[in-house]
Structure formats: structure tokens, C-alpha cells
A and B are shown apart, each in its own frame.
Chain A
Amino acid sequence: MRYIIRILLIAATWAWPLFGQAVDWPLLLAVPQPPAETDSNVTQYGSDQSLYIRTFKVRDSLSMLSNTANSMVNQNVDYELTNDSWFDTKDQAYDLSGEYARKLHWQRLTVGLEWTPVLILDKRTSSQGLLGSVDVGPVLSIAPFGVPVKIHGGATGRAWSDSLGALSVNQFGTLLRDKGYYAGGEFGNPGLPLPYLPLIVNAKSYGRVMGTSKLATGTGSALLYLGMPGGDSAFAYYADSLTDGRDAFLGQAQGKPHLINDPEKNERSYQVMAGIRGKTRFYFQPGVVYSYSEHTLSYAGEWGSRKNSDHAVNFLLATDSQFFVSYKGGFSIDWEREDKYSGQSPLASLTASLDDYRAYRFGLINSVSKYLKNGMGAEYTSDISRYSKDYPNFLVENGDTIRSDPPLDNDIIVNRQKFSLVPIPASWGKTVLFLEYSKNITSYIRKEMSANNTVDWFLRVGGTLDFTVCQRCTLSEAMSADVKRTDYTFPETKIGKPPPYSRQWTSLALFDVAVVPWLTLKTEWKETYWDFGTWNGRQYLDSTTFKTPEEAAAYKEYYAIMDKSWEHGVKLSAAVKLLDVWSGSAGCSYEYIDVREFNTLTREYALTFNAGSRVSPFLTLAYRLDRRLAFNAAFTRVFDIHDKFWDIHISLNGVF
């Protein structure tokens, strides 16, 4: 019977005309918009400062571009700082990269010079580290038939130390140096097709040879799009990225800066994708997409290597606007696998391969909605998926079968349903009621893990209301209640450990009054109740719990609340807007949280140390003068049960 009901439920997700969530055509298979023309001469600046508790961050940048008929100069100045007094760290980065080019008026040929000096300085409690690098060399670019081609190369150098004194970079440290040469190139524009072809190609490469390391990187992509005679469209996409060699970066080890030399590696990712998007037939537009992606990472020497691959097929279907309901949906199938190899020995490789997995995923998403002209309507969304994973490799040693530890072969089945309803015309007010249900099954196959198999149920009901009370007053309310229950598949293995159960109810009310056109008073009131505990079902009780059969028969299953909390929050503020350029707000929020936990000795819910209040006065200011100047500032002072701290964010940016 349950089987039949399940079939009907799943069939209903296709047949009922009330769905909601969409399955969309992949963005990679869409023809990109041509890039916007840039200004000839432009200076762009930005400064962003923030302080949150004990972390201070700065990001300043200045970019100047001078573009005349005969030359182009571009100079960037970037500075970043992260100062964390909690961890006593200070990380700084400087970047002064730039370029000069002379225009020769033939096939957009330019020749010039580029420079990329970068300095990274990381300070920790007892020492600081430094890594400086520079690339300098000639640049040549040309655009035959409008296709941009750029080649560049030159000298490169690097200096570093990870044992400098904490107070001054001149203390204790000895700079190590390395030098070499680099070369690179670019081809194509990611937003423009090649001449006379429906093909967009873009590729970049960079190679560097130094005394201690060699590195080559490259990325590229190609998109082909064709219109077919019947009105359908075909797309093919290929993207590849490759890194070969080794690099070093300034990291951290044992709480101190440390120049970490990556081991020599070869890393490649590529993706092939092809799809056909059909024209609308019988009110429906179909689509099918196949993709294959592969990521390989292999290290020279004793390090292991890994390969991940994924095949995916996606079938899509959507209605056009003439159909009596709006539908979007489809299903997808994925096959993925991971293979590992250790370079140490054949046995090590066999052991590494124990963690290799094979997996497949099947997803079925359907979304149907119907809205009337007056705004009333409904949506229904069904999202069901299965993800199954297997670790097929094992070893036999002394008669024992050795598998991955722990053996994570599993099935995860997710079934989510959502229904929302707009029951009144939009002219009366905006109202949405919703109901969400989900059932998630986590099922481990092997005996070592199967005691953890669970079924989770989640149910949420709620709604939002937005009303214009009078000409200058708006009222909105959002409320929801949810419950989550878990059951173990093998309750007999969890005797005395009943599964978790929790509930939550939230309400958020907003009331705005526009006193005068430039002044609005805002009120926000939030209430949240939450509790958490265990569902003490009969199946989780020890057989010795009851002394008589009558006592056992009289037992009623119950929800034992271990923790519960009430959060109350009120925020009052005044928002001002002047002359279309100034805006700001000032106010204060107050939150009180009542957190209690069950004390098994006193049998009472006692207040915990978390209970208490938080008061947060705040001020925001903004000034926006077209694109030349935008200033934003937000100051919040938080007085908390445990601490008091600032939350400040100031930014200034513009273009002229």
C-alpha cells in the first residue's frame, strides 16, 4: 500500500498543475553579451575600511588609465591589510602593476612594457615573513581581423624571508633571492565571436622559469553556437585549465609565517558540454545537455595523484507563455568517480585506492505555477533526488577484508515539496502562505556505519503579509513555524540514545511611517522561540525500564526538551533622505535571549550563561554624487552579555 501511495505521490509531482522551482538552461551554453566599451581616460579609486570585534580590514585601490590616439598608460596601486588582534596577526599586500603601450595604427598593433611588482608581508606573534616578486618585460598586441592577440615576456625575480623580526623587517632576517624569465600570451575576447564564425574563443597562458622552480599555466574556452534549420539551436562548449610545475606562497606553520613550496604538480581541469535547445512545440520548449568534466592532480615524487570525473545528462522542459499554466522541470543523471594513486609503493597505491568511489545522482525537479491577472495564484515545487556512493575497492590481508575506514557506501534520498498560495488580489495587499515538507533518508550500506542510518522529517508552515495601512504607513509580517524529527533506522542499536527533535517559531513585524517625504520612522519587532531535545520513543528504551507489563503498556512516547530559548528583538530607527544625494539612518536595536537548559537534578529549566541582552545603537550615512563619488559609512556599537565591540564599515569609491 505504501508503495502505491509513493508512486501516486511521485506521479503527482508531474501531473499536478502547481509547481514552483525552475530548472534552467546552463549559463555556459548562452551567448555572452559583448563587453561594454571602456572610457579612454579614466581614474578609478576605492577605499574600504572595516572593523568587526578585533578584526580590522583595509582595501585601498587606485587605477589610472590614459588612452590617447598614440599611446596607453595604465597604473594600478592596490593595498590590502588584515589586522586581527584576536590572533595577533597582520597581513599586508601591495600591488603596483601597470602597463605602457605605443599604438602603431596598423591592425591595432601596439608595443609596450608591463611591470607587476607585488609585496606580501605577514606578521605573527613572534616573527614576520615577506615575499616580494616582480615581472618586467615587453608587450606586443595586435588584432588581425578584430581578433585580439597579445604576447608578453621578460625578466622575473623574487625575494623572500620567513624569519624576520616581529618589530622590524631589518631584524634577524636574511632575504633569499631567485630570478629567471617569463612569457605568456592571450588570444580572443570572451565576449566577441571570431569573424565570420559563430565561435567564441578565448585562451591565456603564462610560463615562468626560475632558478629553483618552473611553472606553466594556461586557461582556455571555446563556445560554438548554431541555429538549426527547424528553429532549434545547438551549442558546444569546451574549457580547459592547466598548471604544471611548482610555486611558493607565504603561508603559516606552527603559528609563524612560513614560505611554503608547493611540491611539483600537474593539475588539469577540463569540461566538454553540448546541448540542443529545441524551439517551442505544442507549448513546450525542450532541451537536452550532456557534459563531461575531469580534474586530475598528480605530484612528482612520493606524493599521490587523484582523478575525478563526472558524466551528466540533463533533460529540460519548459512551457511558453501561451500555455494555461507555467511549468519548468526536468531530470538529470550524473555518474562520478574518484581514483587515487600513491607514488610510494604498489601496496600504498592499493591502500590509497580504498578511498576511491563511484557514485551516481538522479534528480527530478518540477515546478508549476498559475497566477491570475489580479495576482492570486499558487505554486508547487517538487524536488526529489538520489545520491548513491560506493567504495568498491578492498584488500584481503590474512583472511580479513579491508575496506575504506570508515566504509561510507551510502544512499542519500531527498524528497522536498513546497506549496505556496497567494489567496487575495494584489490590489488588496501582498500575501503569501506556504507549506514545506521534506523527508531525507541517509542510509549507509556497511555494518560499521549502518547504525547511523536516519530518516529526517521536516515540516514548515508560514506566510508573509504586506499591507499599505494608509497612504504613508506600511505594515508587513512574516511568520513561520517548523518542526524537525529524526528516527534511527535501527533503533535497537540506539537504546538510551533517543534521536533529536526540534521546533522553531519565528515572527518578524515591520511598521514604517513616512512622517514627511524625507523622513521615515521604522519599527521592527522580532520574536523567535526554539527548543531542542529528544523524541523518547518506546523503541529507544532499555528493556529493563519497566518492571511490569502494565507499566510498559502505560508508557506514552514524548518529546523531552533539553534546551529552549526565546529571543525578543526590537529595532527603532529613523531614515532620512535629502536632495537625492544624502541618505542615512539612526536608531537602536535591543535583543534579549532567554536560554534555558534542563537540569536533571532539580528537574527544572535553568537559565544558562548565554541568557542576556544585547543593545546595539547604530548610525549609517551615504552620499552619492553620480559615478564620481559614493560614500557609505555604517557604525554599530554592540553592548553584549559577554563583550562590547564595534562593527564599522566605511567605503569611498568613484570613477572620473
Chain B
Amino acid sequence: MRKVTFVVAVLSLAVASCGIFDPRPVEYPANETVEDPFNFASLLWNTDKQFNKLDYNDLFTDDFIYVDINGNEFDRKTFTDHLYTIQRQYEISITWRNDSLHDKTIQDTFFIYRSYHISAVDTVAIPPKTYTISDQAEFKLIFNSTINNWNICYWKDKYQGMSIFHPLFTPDF
């Protein structure tokens, strides 16, 4: 028994001292970094799920639909093109707050209800103008086992009018 303990201890020290659990040296951050401008990762905070990929093609399903308060529907391409446009034009700060009472998982489908608060600064305008709104949205997510990621397939915006997410949004400060 002592012999086995000794071998295990030697193995332990060998593994521990080889630095295998140390991260590699990293490059110092560039001025322009890749981020998650709409903070979509936080949609699943405080749930038992998370997004493994935040690229819009992985985040939204092929048949994704954005629905505004009046029931108008927009497909993924229209919607994500709009996201790219506004993230170029605005400096966005967004907070998603969850309501765990409404979160519901049925097999590979996850229904969530979130409120959001957006502050967007129009960096193109001179001087820059700030746009803020708060409201709620419903989401339906599907788990895609192929890419091991939760995808958003449905987004219903409750904002009375056109929120910044609306593909036909025009700033009205």
C-alpha cells in the first residue's frame, strides 16, 4: 500500500509541476476588441444554460423571426443586417434582466421573458446624441446539438413603436 501511495504522490507532483494548468502568455489587448455589443450572453445569465457561440449565424436559427408589437415579422438576414448597422453607428450599453418565474424549459426548447434597458450613443451625430429605452421581450430558444449551442428562433419585442432592434428603426431623439 505504501508503494502505491508513493507512486501516486510522485505522479501528482510531476503533473502539478509541469505547468499544464497555467494559461499561455497572451497578447496585450488591441484598441479595438471583439465584444458582444448587445450583451446577448447575459440573456442566459442566472439560468442553467449558456451560449457557446455568439456569432449571429450561430446565435439565431435559419428560420429566426423578429416580431414587433404590431405583429410584423422580419427574417434573420434582415434582422442581423440591422444589428450590424446599429453596432457600427452606436456605442451601445444594454442590460437584460431576467424574470425566472417565466423561464420554462420543454425538452430542447427554452422560453424566456426579459426586460431590457438600452443606452445608445449616436457617434455619427455631431454632437453625439443619446437614445435610451426600457421595455420587455419574449424569446424562444432551441438547443442545436450539432454545434452544441442554444439558438434564438423567436424574438417578440413589446416596445410600443420601433425599438433600436427593429429593422426599420430610425432614430427619433
Residues of A at the B interface (CB closer than 8 Å) are 6-7, 10-11, 13-15, 52-53, 55, 87, 251-255, 282-284, 323, 331, 362, 364, 384, 386, 388, 405-406, 411, 413, 415, 441, 443-453, 489-490, 493, 500, 502, 530, 532, 562-563, 567, 591, 593, 595, 597, 608-610, 614, 640-642
Residues from chain B with a CB closer than 8 A to the CB of A609 are: 115, 136
Besides A14-B8, A255-B65, 14 other CB < 8 A contacts? A251-B63, A253-B63, A254-B75, A444-B26, A446-B26, A450-B27, A450-B29, A450-B33, A489-B26, A532-B46, A562-B95, A597-B97, A608-B97, A610-B99
Q: Is the CB of B26 within 8 A of A640?
A: no
Instruction: Give Cα A87–Cα B65 distance, bound, in whole angstroms.
Output: 10
Once the chains are docked, how many angstroms separate the CA of A93 from the CA of B111? 24
CB distance A451 to B15 under 8 Å? no
Instruction: State how many angstroms separate the Cβ of A489 from the closest Cβ of chain B.
Output: 8
Residues A642 and B102 in contact, CB atoms below 8 Å apart: yes
Please, what's the 1-or-0 string for B30-53, where 1 marks a CB less than 8 Å from any CB in chain A?
101111000000000110000000
Interface presence of B170 (CB below 8 A): no
What is the CB-to-nearest-CB distance from B126 to chain A, in angstroms, rounded to a whole number? Answer: 23
Determine if B127 is an interface residue (Cβ-Cβ < 8 Å): no
Q: Which residue of B lies closest to A563 (CB)?
A: B97
CA distance A115 to B24 in the complex (A): 60
Q: Do A15 and B8 form a contact, CB below 8 Å, given A55-B106, A384-B21?
A: yes
Instruction: Point out the residue from A10, A444, A593 that lies within 8 Å of B16, measured CB to CB.
Output: A10
State A502–B22 Cα separation when bound (angstroms): 26
- What does the 1/0 interface line of B1-32 toward A look like (CB < 8 Å)? 10111001101110111001111111111101
- Asked if A447 contacts B12 (CB within 8 A), the reply is no
Residues from chain B with a CB closer than 8 A to the CB of A55 are: 106
Interface size on B, residues (CB 8 A): 46
Contact, CB under 8 Å: B26 / A453: yes
Is A411 a contact partner of B29 (Cβ separation < 8 A)? no
Q: Is B28 in contact with A490, judged by CB distance below 8 angstroms? A: yes
Taking the complex as formed, is B104 at the interface, i.e. its CB lies under 8 A from any CB of chain A?
yes
CA distance A1 to B21 in the complex (A): 16
Residues in chain B near residue A530, CB distance under 8 A: 46
Residues of A within 8 A of B16 (CB): 6-7, 10-11
**Contact, CB under 8 Å: B1 / A451:** no
CB distance B9 to A11 under 8 Å? yes
Bound Cα distance A252, B102 (Å): 27
* Central interface residue in A450, A453, A567, A641, by most chain B CB within 10 Å: A450
When chains A and B are docked, how far (Å) is the Cα of A255 from the Cα of B20? 50
Tell me whether B15 and A284 are in contact (CB under 8 A): no
Query: A362 — nearest CB in chain B belongs to which residue?
Result: B20
A255:B63 contact, CB within 8 angstroms: yes
- State in angstroms the CA–CA spacing of A450 and B33 once bound together: 8
Interface, chain B (partner A; CB < 8 A): 1, 3-5, 8-9, 11-13, 15-17, 20-30, 32-35, 45-46, 63, 65, 73, 75, 95, 97, 99-102, 104, 106, 111, 113, 115, 136, 154
Please give the distance in Å from A151's CB to the nearest CB on chain B: 33
Q: Is B63's CB under 8 angstroms from A252's CB?
A: yes
Chain A to chain B: the 10 pairs with minimum beta-carbon distance, closest first: A14-B12, A451-B29, A10-B16, A406-B34, A443-B23, A447-B27, A447-B30, A610-B99, A451-B33, A411-B23
Q: How far is the CA of A455 from the CA of B154 in the complex (A)?
A: 33
- Name B106's closest neighbour in chain A (CB-CB): A52
Residue of A nearest to B73 (CB): A255
Count, A-B residue pairs, CB within 8 A = 129
Chain B residue, CB-CB nearest to A360: B20
Please tell me if the beta carbons of A449 and B33 are within 8 angstroms of each other in the complex: yes
Taking a contact as CB atoms under 8 Å apart, the answer to whether A14 and B9 are in contact is yes
**What are 25 A-B pairs at a CB distance below 8 A?**
A6-B21, A10-B15, A10-B21, A14-B12, A52-B106, A53-B104, A55-B106, A255-B65, A255-B73, A405-B34, A413-B21, A415-B21, A443-B24, A443-B26, A450-B27, A451-B29, A451-B33, A451-B35, A493-B29, A502-B46, A530-B46, A532-B46, A595-B97, A641-B101, A642-B113
Q: CB distance A15 to B20 under 8 Å? A: no
Nearest CB in chain A to that of B2: its residue:
A282
A426 and B139 CA atoms in complex are apart in Å by: 47
Instruction: Indicate which residue in A15, A364, A490 contacts B29 across the interface (CB closer than 8 Å).
Output: A490
Q: Are A386 and B20 in contact (CB under 8 A)?
A: yes
Q: Are B27 and A446 touching (Cβ within 8 A)? A: yes
Once bound together, how far apart are the Cα atoms of A443 and B26, in whole Å? 8
**A212 → chain B closest CB, angstroms:** 23
Highest count of chain A CB atoms <10 Å: which of B16, B35, B154: B16
Contact check: which of B3, B24, B34 meets A445 at CB < 8 Å? B24
Whether B23 and A610, one on each chain, are in contact in the complex, defined by CB atoms closer than 8 angstroms, is: no
A142 to B80, CA, bound (A): 57
| Neighbour of A331 across the interface among B15, B25, B46, CB < 8 A | B15
Report the bound CA distance from A405 to B26 in whole Å.
17
When distances are taken between beta carbons in the complex, the residues of chain B under 8 Å from A413 are: 21-23
Given the known inter-chain contacts A52-B104, A532-B46, please indicate yes or no for A11 contacting B13, CB distance below 8 A.
yes
Contact (Cβ within 8 A) A386 B29: no
Are A441 and B29 in contact, CB atoms less than 8 angstroms apart? no
Q: Which B residues touch A446, using CB under 8 A?
A: 26-27
Contact of A87 among B30, B115, B154 (CB under 8 A): B154
Query: Once the chains are docked, how many angstroms separate the CA of A384 from the CA of B30?
Result: 31
Q: Of the candidates B5, B12, B111, which one forms a contact with A10 in the assembled complex, judged by CB atoms under 8 Å apart?
A: B12
Complex CA–CA separation, A251 to B15 (angstroms): 51
Point out the residue from A441, A453, A591, A608 that lies within 8 Å of B101, measured CB to CB. A591
Residues of A within 8 A of B11 (CB): 14
Within the complex, what minimum Cβ distance (angstroms) separates A39 from chain B? 31
Min Cβ gap B41→A in Å is 10
User: Given contacts A331-B15, A413-B23, A415-B21, are A593 and B101 in contact (CB under 8 A)?
Assistant: yes
Known: A7-B17, A532-B46. A640 touches B12 (CB 8 A): no
Q: Are B26 and A445 within 8 A (Cβ)?
A: yes
Least distance between B116 CB and chain A CB atoms (Å): 12
Q: What is the minimal beta-carbon distance from A615 to any residue of chain B, in angstroms?
A: 12
Residues of A contacting B101 with CB < 8 Å? 567, 591, 593, 610, 614, 640-641
Q: How far is the CA of A595 from the CA of B21 in the complex (A)?
A: 40
With A7-B16, A413-B21 in contact, do A445 and B27 touch (Cβ < 8 Å)? yes
Q: Determine how close the nearest CB of chain B comes to the CB of A562; give it in whole angstroms.
A: 7
- Note all chain B residues with C-beta closer than 8 A to A284: 4
Contact A610 B33 (CB under 8 A): no
